[in-house]
Amino acid sequence: MEGTPQRPSHTAELLQDILERARQLPDEGRCADYIPALAKVNPDYLGIAVAELDGRVHIAGDAQVPFSIQSISKIFGLVLAMERVGEPLWQRVRMEPSGQAFNSIMQLEWEHGIPRNPFINAGAIVVADALVSHFSASRSALIQFIRQLANNPLIHADDEVWESERVHGNRNAALAYLMKSFDNIQSEVPAVLDHYFYQCAISMSCVDLAQSLSFLANKGVRGGSSDVVCDQRSAHRVNALLSTSGMYDQSGEFAFTVGLPAKSGVGGGLVAVVPDYGVICAWSPRLNSYGNSHRSMFMVTTLAEELGLSVYN
């Protein structure tokens, strides 16, 4: 793997130490169980990776084991849609933090089918619709985009998870049809959901995720390269959205405690962007009541403290 150091670096030792401390935490929480395919994942997986901007990658634990990235996929979909659709995208989805989960449907109704931001499900479904409407083969376009970013041609969606999402996706269907009733979905709802569930079912490792998102820490340029993924303004915007809305109803607390743009997924993954430094990705499947991984949060929080990383000083 590109960039993996030959010998344990100082950072790698630090990661190993933090990983061990995370392992000692009580076994609170459990895997997401709304779909069988996630519920059966071994809850004791534990991994962390850091991709620095010079291309170096530091790892500890199960950092190379692929897992279901779930909501973290919303970043990839968003960046691709921002690049292709441009400013008109923001007529269809806002950029404001949302309140809590309970009123997501009501908020959508109140705001005439315009979701609060692209990281709540309704917003990500609008983004999916933008991709489905723009590309003749949106799923293929997205997976190619991700493979390039991660420099890993093997990344793919897990068919079992994909199918499982579909079967248990009635709430997302409700959101999509409600937005359709407000004319904020252009393609047919089943096609849009198909893309959305596909993207949630993509499997990547901590290393894949940290490397693929390094452009967010680097003004839009892929870490260790000169590849422009997006312009600086777009990278800034995604980071801003991650800061206010990336961690479900714990986004404010995460900003309060850690102070880094971050995104979690119910597969237990957590990526955090450190501008001018790199990207951290942690993984542990046990979730807290907000749907965020206990141990992933612990590892990212601890690493940020140890290295003095925070955008808020």
Q: Is 291 in the site for a copy of itself (CB under 8 A)?
A: no
Task: Please say whether the beta carbons of 204 and 150 come within 8 A.
Answer: yes
Cα–Cα distances in angstroms (integers) from residue 112 to residues 15, 27, 98, 107, 183, in the given order = 46, 42, 15, 8, 9
Among 42, 170, 226, 289, interactor with a copy of itself by CB under 8 A: 170
Q: Which of 15, 210, 241, 262 binds a copy of itself (CB under 8 A)?
A: 241
> In this structure, are residues 78 and 92 in contact, taking their beta carbons and an 8 Å threshold?
no
Assess contact for 193 and 178: CB atoms under 8 A. no
In this structure, are residues 131 and 138 in contact, taking their beta carbons and an 8 Å threshold?
A: yes
Q: Choose between 119 and 162: whose C-beta lies nearer to a copy of itself.
A: 119
Task: Strands of 35-108 (E only): list them.
Answer: 47-52, 57-61, 67-68
Closest distance of CB 252 from a copy of itself, Å: 4
Q: How far is 25 from 32, CA to CA, in rounded Å?
A: 19
Q: Is 41 in the site for a copy of itself (CB under 8 A)?
A: no
**Using the rule CB under 8 A, which residue among 141, 156, 203, 275 binds a copy of itself?**
275
Give min distance, CB of 168 to a copy of itself, in A.
8
Does 167 contact a copy of itself by CB under 8 A?
no
> How far apart are alpha carbons 297 and 271 in whole angstroms?
10
Contact between 234 and a copy of itself per CB under 8 A: no
**Shortest Cβ distance from residue 24 to a copy of itself (Å)?**
24
Interface with a copy of itself (CB under 8 A), residue from 171, 227, 228, 306? 171
Is 266 considered catalytic here? Answer: yes
Round to whole Å and give the CA distance between 215 and 135: 23
Q: What is the CA radius of gyration of the chain?
A: 18
User: From the CB of 97, what's the least distance to a copy of itself, in Å?
Assistant: 3
Structure tokens, 229: 């993924």
CB of 180 to a copy of itself, least distance (A): 4
The token pair that represents 107 in the structure block: 């908020």
Q: What gap in Å lies between CA 117 and CA 95, rounded to an integer?
A: 5
Q: Is 177 a residue that touches a copy of itself (CB under 8 A)?
A: yes
| Whether 34 is catalytic | no
Phi and psi dihedrals of 99, rounded to 5?
A: -75, -150
Tell me which of 117, 121, 152, 302 binds a copy of itself, using CB under 8 A. Answer: 117
Q: Which residues 74-113 are close enough to bind a copy of itself by CB under 8 A? A: 94-100, 102-103, 105-107, 109-111
**Rounded Cα gap, residues 137 and 311, in angstroms:** 38
Residue 178 interacts with a copy of itself (CB under 8 A): yes or no = yes
Does residue 248 carry a catalytic annotation?
yes
CB of 195 to a copy of itself, least distance (A): 17
Tell whether residue 236 is a contact of a copy of itself (CB under 8 A). Answer: yes
Question: How crowded is residue 291: how many other Cβ atoms within 10 Å of its Cβ?
Answer: 20
Q: Output the six-digit token pair for 104.
A: 């997501």
Residues tagged active-site: 71, 74, 196, 248, 266
Q: Which residues bind a copy of itself (CB under 8 A)?
A: 94-100, 102-103, 105-107, 109-111, 116-117, 170-171, 173-178, 180-181, 189, 217, 219, 232, 235-237, 239-241, 243-245, 249-253, 255-256, 259, 261, 275-276, 310-313
